[in-house]
Amino acid sequence: MGKGGENYGKRDGSGSRPSDKEIYPAWAKDVDQCLKKYDVHKDFGLSSDKVEKQRRIYGLNELEKHDGPSIWSLILEQFNDTLVRILLAAAVISFVLAWYDGDEGGEMEITAFVEPLVIFLILIVNAAVGVWQENNAEKALEALKEIQSEHAAVIREGKKISSLPAKDLVPGDIVELRVGDKIPADMRVLSLISSTVRVEQGSLTGESEAVNKTNKAVPEDTDIQGKRCMVFAGTTVVNGNCICLVTQTGMNTEIGKVHSQIHSASQNDDDTPLKKKLNEFGEVLTAIIGVICALVWLINVRYFLTWDYVNGWPSNFKFSFEKCTYYFEIAVALAVAAIPEGLPAVITTCLALGTRKMAQKNALVRKLPSVETLGCTTVICSDKTGTLTTNQMAVAKLVAMGPRADITRTFKVEGTTYNPVDGRIHDWPTGGMDANLQTIAKIAAVCNDAGVAESGHHHVATGMPTEAALKVMVEKMGLPKQCADTSLGSTDVLRCCQQWNNIARRIATLEFDRDRKSMGVIVRSDSGNSLLVKGAVENLLERSSYVQLLDGSVVKMDQSSKDLILRSLHEMSTAALRCLGFAYKKEIAEFDTYDGDEDHPAHKLLLNPSNYSSIESDLIFVGLVGLRDPPREEVHSAIEDCRAAGIRVMVITGDNKNTAEAICREIGVFGPQEDISLKSLTGKEFMGLCDQKRHLRQSGGLLFSRAEPRHKQEIVRLLKEDGEVVAMTGDGVNDAPALKLADIGIAMGIAGTEVAKEASDMVLADDNFSTIVSAVGEGRSIYDNMKAFIRYMISSNIGEVASIFLTAALGIPEGLIPVQLLWVNLVTDGPPATALGFNPPDKDIMKKPPRRSDDSLISAWILFRYLVIGIYVGLATVGVFVIWYTHGSFMGIDLSKDGHTLLTYSQLSNWGHCSSWEGFTVSPFTAGAQVFSFDNPCDYFQAGKVKAMTLSLSVLVAIEMFNSLNALSEDGSLLTMPPWVNPWLLLAMSVSFGLHFLIMYVPFLAQVFAIVPLSLNEWLLVLAVAFPVILIDEILKFVGRCTSGSRQSNAIKSLKLKSD
């Protein structure tokens, strides 16, 4: 494919088919050379033998079907996660222990099986969600196949086959293309049947307008946009007919290369920044759990393994399998306590809520993790056409003639859409339209084949966008008073244009062609026949002998008036405006009596386009307009928001350099006077740089014009390698590979192709760049809230670990059993953690720089804070257990009313030796309506610990509810951010307490969770022990606020060192 496409073949060539380096550069060869290369005659086509020979070499003209990963590999992939593997191990061990305990029968059998079954259920649901998301990955490739042509008109063996299946095409086939055809393969244009052929190929190349095709060769190193003699598979003929030669089929076409790139990008899906952090956290957690489990065993080894010393050497070893199993269960409980089982469910819920918020802002999220990824976006790579601009041509300037030939008048035209009431014309004459402006309006309205119609809340164009923009301008100009027609309804979108068409009825058309670069129409009006012409300004000036002045008078065009018009043209061209001129001719002798009748002598002149230039001579020039695809009004402020938020904007477009630079200056990517010689490159220039990453590291905005799909993909790849989190926008087929490769691919909902949408993570319902910026703000808010509930859940788990560790270290009976810990982690903690996802965003959220993808989820200071909180949770839960056994009252709260027996701490910590205590007895005690009595006093430490366990569990639940209030803000006090700023959190706390009451006061559930009802005094004790967690964290937050300045400066220094 020449130098513009060489790298494709190196990357994508497969099998026995020819790679791109062997591809014949048909665009650089003349027609005869191409026909000779493929050994074919234009009028005869290929013979059957040659077709079979070519098919054996090149295969069918269709895109390959890549087999996606099997369902089993997808399922196994879901368990490739450290936290999940720990959970799985804990569930298996719990199940084995439950099975072992079940051999003894009894009530505890039900309780023991609850824990492993619940963990298994969590893992199954998590795997199912993951498989469902992965299974959608290949849909972009299927959507790509939908845009392929199904049939083609082919000449073979001298006969025309009008509807040959497109998959049967081979290189060397001769194909006839007509207006409306979808092009079936990459082809070389051999000859034009009509005067012009235009192809809409923007979805593949990124160009904003349909492209005129020719059969003339171009240089071999021309980029894809410059290959004017080539037509590409999947694009559409919008005007004209031509004969073409098939040069590439199937995977060797440009669209085939895009297909390969999408497949390649889909194989390289990286984890989201949050997933990476959670994986790192899981690995650390695994090490911590291993160390703590080992410590628990070492501390308690004396209980299940004893020995005597004989002559200084250990002997007479005694091993208790029952006690070994008991402490093994404690180790399992430790693993369950350390893992935040509810975290996956809460993250999914929070992301799902985030998608709803974003949908309200016109950002439709297709993949849940992309919500969080948006929050740490550091670079937005945006397409220009349709994203930063409206993708609707609009007139920006109108230049009319003045009262003298050496004076022109310039009018600024507002509006960025096809809606005629969108904007107005500045400095418009108050006394109505003069004769010169009326002539401009008439030519723009009548010498025009486009239309504009309402479609829902939008106005859409039919025909050429530039012509539609001219009709919108005519509507803004209005009608002269003498031409007003009350018969036309005020609701007609193009009422002024209709009126001009009634005044000047078209009877013949001189079609546009690439040589004279103009279009003309012969019209009949009350004053007779006349010729109206519009086209390239320079070409019209060459054929114009006169100029019309403001009052309608006509004077000879001299060099000064011509230079004046050319200066206006130069000013508009340098501002990247596309210029069209208007002219007319009053005296058209041959057509004075022509009325469209084919028998009229003048009709023969119209049948030969070579006559058009002579007909369009001695014209009267009246004015010119500058058109453009205007930037969206809100984009400039969105770019400013990005700059304030520390997000760099890079514009990557297939459009030409001058147009793209002008738009970038206007929307604020570049400053008005900024030197952009090093910041604006074509895709080809960028690929030729020695140090591409250095170019991408420049501060401020960057522009890449004339970019091909591989350029976009390479830019995204390099940015990701440099540690950037990249959001890529696009709407065309050419954008799909980069959308797939980016951290978050954003497709256009209105103008986007299905290929782009399926390859994306998010779809913009309004195709608006500013929607991305608001979505980034929402993503940041969601991430902050996720950090809040992750900190909350992890701090709670640290407390549970501390509780179990202290229990084992002190040698007291187990205060919390695994099923209770699982209930707290999954159910009780779930509602507050989810509610933290509703925290209001910080007011300055888009004034902060984006977090780096390697920023730690939990900083050293936050970890220290939650270690302090966790230690307090452990002390409180173990402490209340010890208080119930050893104290009849605490802080003035009477605990003796239930009649339980008080012990010394020494007795409690040596409960395993209870059977050797002489005269040890215990009294019955009450819990709600139940009475607990003991035939064996030692059962007081097992079945009798139910009240103390209930107190420990209740303290744990209460502390975690208070701790959720601490998580409202990382450093903000509850005095400045009170609980009612998030009413959902207060509701969630009520729900969690309600669930705790449910399992405590419903007998069946109380039996499952091994707890009993508490009295009012006992609840007062719970609250008294739990409440200090708020005071402790307030002190820590105060210290954090006082030292935050020094921590931030240290972080900035380390960042600078990293970048250096």
Residue-averaged pLDDT of the chain: 81
- Provide the pLDDT for residue 222: 85
Query: Given this model, what pLDDT does residue 17 score?
Result: 44
Residue 1020 has a pLDDT of 93
Sign of CA dihedral 1049, 1053, 1059, 1060: positive
Residue 6 in this model has a pLDDT that exceeds 60? no
pLDDT at 895 over 80: yes
Looking at per-residue confidence, does 381 or 205 come out higher?
Answer: 381
Using only C-alpha atoms, the chain has a radius of gyration, in whole angstroms, of 39
Q: What is the pLDDT of residue 875?
A: 92
Confidence band of 1059 (pLDDT split at 50, 70, 90): very low
Largest interatomic CA distance in the chain = 136
* Cβ atoms < 10 Å from Cβ of 542: 13
Give the C-alpha distances (Å, rounded to integers) separating 592 from 439, 448, 501, 587, 600: 20, 22, 19, 8, 11
The DSSP-derived string for 703-721 is: EEES--HHHHHHHHHHHHH
| pLDDT of 370 strictly over 80 | no
Burial track 122-150 (b if 16+ CB lie within 10 A, e otherwise): bbeebbeebbeebeebbbbbebbeebbbe
- The string of pLDDT tens digits covering residues 523-564 is 998 888 999 999 999 999 999 999 999 999 999 999 999 999
Better pLDDT: 752 or 974? 974
Higher pLDDT, 769 or 59: 59
- Please state whether beta strands 451-455 and 680-682 pair in parallel, antiparallel, or not at all (unpaired): unpaired
Number of separate helices (H) and strands (E) present in the chain? 37, 34
Residue 847: name the closest of 640, 1006, 555, 553 by CA: 640
Enumerate the β-bridge partners of residue 555.
547
Residue 568 CA to residue 43 CA, distance in Å, equals 48
Q: What angle do CA 560, 565, 569 make, to 5 degrees?
A: 140
In order, the DSSP letters of 387-440 are IIB-SS-EEEEEEEE-SSTT-EEEEEB--SSS-TTSS-BTT--TT---HHHHHH
- Model confidence at 685: pLDDT above 50: yes
pLDDT tens figures, 793-817: 777 778 888 888 888 778 888 888 7
* pLDDT exceeds 80 at position 154: yes
Residue 432: which of 521, 551, 538, 342 has the closest Cα?
551
Residue 502, both tokens: 């009634």
Q: Is the pLDDT of residue 1007 over 70?
A: yes
Q: Does the pLDDT of residue 144 top 60, yes or no?
A: no
Phi-psi sector, 281: left (phi>0), alpha (psi -120 to 50), beta: alpha
- Half-sphere exposure (Cβ direction) of 710: Cα atoms closer than 13 Å: 20
Enumerate the active-site residues: 383
